[in-house]
Amino acid sequence: MESQKQSISSIHDPEYHRIVDTLIALREKAKLSQKAIAHEIGLTQPDVSKIERRERRIDVLEALRWVRATDADPAEFFAQFANSEG
């Protein structure tokens, strides 16, 4: 459990990469540019770029807004990571 706690705090965690990859896929599927999704969720385009390059963490509210902006189901999005082993 202790090693799991340590890995959760890192933007280099494989599970975090999966989350970001999924967010990118949702944005692209919705045909939204980084600028458009940034506007929808209250961030700047450079913030979105940093999130997608894993230079900035995305918080849960930003992720929720991101998913909603793509018209995806937030419950389905979060459920796919809820029981993940990483």
Amino acid 8: pLDDT: 52
User: Measured between alpha carbons, how far is 8 from 24 in angstroms, rounded to an integer?
Assistant: 20
CATH at residue 78: 1.10.260.40
Q: Contact, 54 vs 14, CB < 8 A? A: no
Q: Count the domains in the chain.
A: 1
**pLDDT tens-digit map of 6-58:** 545 578 899 999 999 999 999 999 999 999 999 999 999 999 999 999 999 99
Which tops the pLDDT comparison, 84 or 58?
58
Amino acid 69: pLDDT: 98
pTM for the structure as a whole:
0.85
Position 2 confidence tier, pLDDT thresholds 50, 70, 90: very low
Name the residue range of residue 53's domain: 2-82
